[in-house]
Amino acid sequence: MAEQADRLTRRKARTRAALLEAAQAFIAAGTTNVPILEITQAADVGMGSFYNHFESKEQLYQAAVEDALDRYGALLDELTADVEDPALVFAQSFRLSGRLHRLRPELSRVLLNHGLELATSERGLAPRARRDIEAAAEAGRFTVRDPELAMVTVAGALLGLGRLLHDQPDRDAEAAADQVAEDLLRMLGLPAEEARELCRRPLPDVEGAGHPAGSTSAVNNRGRTSVR
């Protein structure tokens, strides 16, 4: 009985994951005004399975955005886990996010199509940005009067950068992300010279991370491979 229950749990998890992935694809394409039947067909699940997990299409889309935000944020946590300086954590997270607009374009489009959720959500990037900004301020690394306003400014910069990179595919995403990160560090109170130095440091191997399978092993050794 226990084995049968485990199989059922795994099957339900796969169905939910398939529905989330299908919804994220529709969100990324900007075509959310589709019937539930089309979503279930894209997920290769039955219509009845949809209602075992979600009450409405809107609930599915909300869950899909939250899932994307959580995966995006978890990836950044993983890639900065061994960094002790909170100012460097912030800098690396932003620089990596800029690169992910190109390396994970579908996930990026989900975020760009739900910008308000990015700035105000209690899951994903927003709480992590607040955490890093507050930690850097408490450590005397940032000079911030209102971490919430600072976080909103950072979110706006990330969204604007992402839109620019999608609109200008020939623009150097790495250089653009590093420049915006440097400007933000200066805005948050770091001296210009130090902001520039932090944004020139090597980054983790982001291209090998963030996939559902093997994402942990891809960065287990914390190798600092430059992606500049």
Same domain for 124 and 16: no
Q: How far apart are CA 89 and CA 75, in angstroms?
A: 13
CATH classification at residue 22: 1.10.10
pLDDT band at 202 (very low <50, low <70, confident <90, very high): very high
Identify whether residues 138 and 103 lie together within a single domain: yes
How far is residue 121's CA from residue 118's CA, in Å, rounded to a whole number?
6
pLDDT of residue 89: 95
Same domain, 42 and 77: no
Given 32, 54, 76, the domain boundary residue is 54
Residue with the bigger pLDDT between 120 and 201: it is 201
- Taking the model in full, what pTM does it have? 0.76
**Do 111 and 183 fall into the same domain?**
yes
Whether the Cβ atoms of residue 99 and residue 75 lie closer than 8 Å to each other: no
Q: Supply the CATH number for residue 72's domain.
A: 1.10.357.10
List the one residue out of 153, 144, 123 whose CA is nearest residue 62.
123
| 225 pLDDT more than 50 | no
Question: What digits encode the pLDDT tens for the residues 129-142?
Answer: 899 999 999 999 99
For range 79-108, the mean pLDDT: 89
Claim to verify: residue 35 and residue 87 sit in the same structural domain? no
Does residue 222 have a pLDDT over 70?
Answer: no
184 and 130 within one domain = yes
**Rounded Cα distance, 142 and 72, in Å:** 24
Asked whether 93 and 132 are in contact (CB, 8 A), the reply is: yes
210 contacts: CB under 8 Å, gap ≥ 6: 71, 75, 100, 104
Residue that is written with structure tokens 């809107």 in the block: 58
149-201 per-position pLDDT tens digit: 998 899 899 999 999 999 999 999 999 999 999 999 999 999 999 999 999 99
d(CA 38, CA 213): 27
Residues 17 and 115 in one domain: no
- What is the length of the chain? 228
203: tokens are 């980054």
In a domain, 101, yes or no: yes
Q: Determine, yes or no, domain membership for 222.
A: no
The domain of 157 spans 67-201
Closest by Cα among 173, 175, 221 to 200 = 175
Overall domain count for the chain:
2
Q: What pLDDT does residue 100 have?
A: 83
The reported pLDDT for the residue numbered 75 is 85
DSSP 207: G
Are both 103 and 166 inside the same structural domain? yes
Q: Are residues 182 and 123 in the same domain?
A: yes
Q: Mark whether 163 and 72 lie in a shared domain.
A: yes
Q: Does residue 103 belong to any structural domain of this protein?
A: yes
Q: Residues 20, 128: one domain? A: no
Residue 201 DSSP class: S
20 and 82 co-located in one domain: no
* Position 214 pLDDT exceeds 60: no
Q: Report how far residue 216's alpha carbon sits from residue 214's, in angstroms, rounded to the nearest whole number.
A: 5
Query: What DSSP assignment string belongs to 108-157?
Result: HHHHHTTHHHHHH-SSTHHHHHHHHHHHHHHTTS---S-HHHHHHHHHHH
The answer to whether residue 30 scores a pLDDT higher than 60 is: yes
